Amino acid sequence: MSAVADHTTPKPTAGSPGPESDVGTFVALNEGYYAAQFQAIGDKRGFLVTWNWAAFLLGSIWYGMRSLWAYFLPFVALETLAVVQLARGIWGDLGAPILARLPGIEATLARRYEQLAEARETAPDRVAGFENTIASLERAIDGIKAEAAAANAQALTLILSGLAALLVIKSAQAVLANPGLHARYSNWLSDRTLGHGLSPLKTAVAGALTVITYVTCSLKFGFPEVVPALQGFPADPAVQSGVAQAIKDWITNASLRSEWVFDGLVFGIRSVLDMLETIFVETPWPVMCGFILLLTGLSAGWRAAIFTGAGLAYLGYLGFWDKSMQTLALLGTAACISITLGIPLGIACARSRRLYAVVRPVLDFMQTMPAFVYLIPIIAFFGTGKPAAVIATMIFGGSPVVRLTVLGLRGVPESVREAAQAFGANRRYLLWKVDLPLAMPSIMAGINQTILLSLAMVVIASLIGAKGLGEDVLEALQYASEGQGILAGLAILCCAMILDRIIQGKRR
């Protein structure tokens, strides 16, 4: 048995090359050279300086051919900078952008000469002023010509700096080529699906991208007058105006045809909002303070309740109590609706991958679209005021609760679910007694994120008529009232910290 074991071929490791057939399969060319380089790199502790002439000569194209795209992109950018310098120094007219200012100054000078001639005949007292102006313009023209001549004299400097930069970049490419290829070879040994060898497609793609980058950048920065289209995308303003008008017409028709739907939504939102405003605003402040302190103490501990009391005192003594309660009512309405809709939707998405494939792009849109953009259709459909602000807040903050509910439910160990099913658990028992309790930390994190993101909308919501602390911040921005803005911002911070402590404490 020992004799057989001694003659067993060892499995190649990531630090050293495997059998020559593996190296040959991976590199497809110069197998002996790369086998020796890989062996030396694997045996060396730290970085081994090597030189690859193919990478030095081909540059970034070599890295694209070898599927080292992480190296390809930065090297193309660096090479392009050097190539642009060379192109400007060899073929470019460096003084042309400077001389482009001459026609306007010369036209002004010609008008001043005409005015000088008229002044000599009709207004002798203005002759001296025109002569001084003409002298100043002539000095400016001489200065521009001298500046253009100096710029043209810098051509040799640009050529030498471009050559030096290109030499440094290519040297770096030659030194990094073998270690980079060895690292990819190590990954390829454990995952044979990675790209390897040489292919005409990779070579063509790398070469085309490199050449296109060189040519277009050289034309744009060195010869802007040759291809004017490179200075800006050749867009047609009529296309934009036509599409914008079509969208406007569609929104107008949709708002008129579905007016009853939006009126119903506004009525429902306003009912919840009025109820919460009555609870938060009309309830005597000692009762609200006691309730908040008790809730914080039970959830996050009595130490957190002390800091909550300090935050409530700040809101009260600085006159932000009523506006803070209005903000919490607006926030509570948006958060309650988002959570009420988001958790069931997250449960459904966790059970159906097809549904989640449809919902996920909508969630991506809700998170990535800037808030000021979707305020426009919200105003068109819902008008201005607090219901529209609630809708905007729901769109901005409703995504995390759905995503984290899906994440939590999909993270429930399958072995636990199988054990529950083995003891006779039906689908309802499995959901309420197994899945939701185990996913509750993730779901509570989603609720916390939804509430805090909703609170971040209070300033933006004030733009469309929402009252509360955001109104003070907006006024401070409009009238440059730094003190008022900082105090209102700290009030929003206090509300956020109190809510965060309550929700986070419950989650723990």
Q: Is residue 304 domain-shared with residue 222, that is, in the same domain?
A: no
Q: Model confidence at 21, in pLDDT bands (50, 70, 90)?
A: low
Q: Is residue 270 domain-shared with residue 339, that is, in the same domain?
A: yes
462-496 residue pLDDT tens: 878 777 888 888 888 777 788 888 888 888 888 88
Instruction: Tell which of 187, 211, 231 closes a domain.
Output: 231
Is 435 a member of any domain?
no
**Helix residue spans in 369-435 (DSSP H):** 371-382, 386-397, 399-410, 414-422, 427-430
Torsion of CA 265, 271, 276, 278, to 10 degrees: 150
DSSP string, 144-186: HHHHHHHHHTTHHHHHHHHHHHHHHHHHHHHHHHHHHHHHHHH
* Res 53 pLDDT > 90: yes
Q: Is residue 65 domain-shared with residue 195, that is, in the same domain?
A: yes
* Res 8 pLDDT > 70: no
d(CA 246, CA 179): 56
Cβ-based neighbours of 434, under 8 Å, separated by 6 or more:
412, 416, 417, 420, 425
* Res 415 pLDDT > 70: yes
Alpha-carbon separation of residue 310 from 2, 34, 497, 499 (angstroms)? 76, 69, 11, 14
Q: Model confidence at 383, in pLDDT bands (50, 70, 90)?
A: confident
What pLDDT does 164 receive? 94
The per-residue b/e assignment along 125-138, b for 16 or more CB within 10 angstroms, e otherwise, is: eeeeebeeebeebe
What pLDDT does 10 receive? 44
* Backbone phi, psi, residue 17, to 5°: -70, 150
Q: Is residue 72 domain-shared with residue 184, that is, in the same domain?
A: yes
Check residues 20 and 351 and name the one with the higher pLDDT. Answer: 351
Averaged pLDDT, 260-268:
83
- On whether the CB atoms of residues 169 and 82 are closer than 8 A, the answer is yes
Q: Is residue 280 domain-shared with residue 361, that is, in the same domain?
A: yes
Cβ-based neighbours of 407, under 8 Å, separated by 6 or more:
442
What pLDDT does 79 receive? 93
Q: Is the pTM of this model over 0.85?
A: no
* Backbone phi, psi, residue 353, to 5°: -70, -30
Torsion of CA 420, 424, 427, 430, to 10 degrees: -30
Is 40 a member of any domain?
yes
Nearest CA-CA partner of 115 in 132, 130, 136, 129: 130
Q: Model confidence at 427, in pLDDT bands (50, 70, 90)?
A: confident
Q: Model confidence at 5, in pLDDT bands (50, 70, 90)?
A: very low
Mean pLDDT estimate for the chain: 84
Tokens of 54: 């193919």
Q: Model confidence at 6, in pLDDT bands (50, 70, 90)?
A: very low
Terminus-to-terminus CA distance in the chain, angstroms? Answer: 57
d(CA 89, CA 95): 11
Nearest CA-CA partner of 186 in 321, 388, 17, 40: 17
358-372 residue pLDDT tens: 999 999 888 888 877
Helix or strand run (H / E) with residue 485: helix 482-507
Number of domains present in the structure of the chain: 3
Q: Is residue 61 domain-shared with residue 72, that is, in the same domain?
A: yes
Q: Is residue 142 domain-shared with residue 165, that is, in the same domain?
A: no
* Res 15 pLDDT > 70: no
What pLDDT does 505 receive? 66
* Res 255 pLDDT > 50: yes
Could you write out the three-class secondary structure of 7-73?
CCCCCCCCCCCCCHHHHHHHHCCCHHHHHHHHHHHHHCCCCCCCCCHHHHHHCHHHHHHCCCHHHHH
128-182 residue pLDDT tens: 887 888 888 888 888 888 887 777 778 888 889 999 999 999 999 999 999 999 9
65-115 residue pLDDT tens: 999 999 999 999 999 999 988 888 887 777 777 777 788 888 888 888 888
Percent of the chain with pLDDT over 70: 94
Is 408 a member of any domain?
no
Q: Is residue 313 domain-shared with residue 334, that is, in the same domain?
A: yes
Q: Is residue 140 domain-shared with residue 274, that is, in the same domain?
A: no
The per-residue b/e assignment along 141-160, b for 16 or more CB within 10 angstroms, e otherwise, is: eeebeeebeebeeebeebbe
Q: Is residue 148 domain-shared with residue 177, that is, in the same domain?
A: no
Is 250 a member of any domain?
no
Q: Is residue 387 domain-shared with residue 500, that is, in the same domain?
A: yes
Q: Is residue 226 domain-shared with residue 270, that is, in the same domain?
A: no
Is 482 a member of any domain?
yes
Check residues 506 and 179 and name the one with the higher pLDDT. Answer: 179
Percent of the chain with pLDDT over 90: 23
Is 425 a member of any domain?
no
* Angle between helices 436-455 and 482-507 in degrees, nearest 10: 180
- On whether the CB atoms of residues 362 and 317 are closer than 8 A, the answer is no
d(CA 203, CA 208): 8
Nearest CA-CA partner of 406 in 371, 355, 369, 457: 355
> Reduced to 3 states, what is the DSSP secondary structure of residue 85?
helix
Query: How crowded is the C-beta side of 85, counted as CA atoms within 13 Å?
Result: 18
d(CA 39, CA 19): 11
- On whether the CB atoms of residues 431 and 363 are closer than 8 A, the answer is no
Is 421 a member of any domain?
no
Domain limits for position 145:
96-153
Is 146 a member of any domain?
yes
Nearest CA-CA partner of 458 in 474, 444, 481, 445: 474
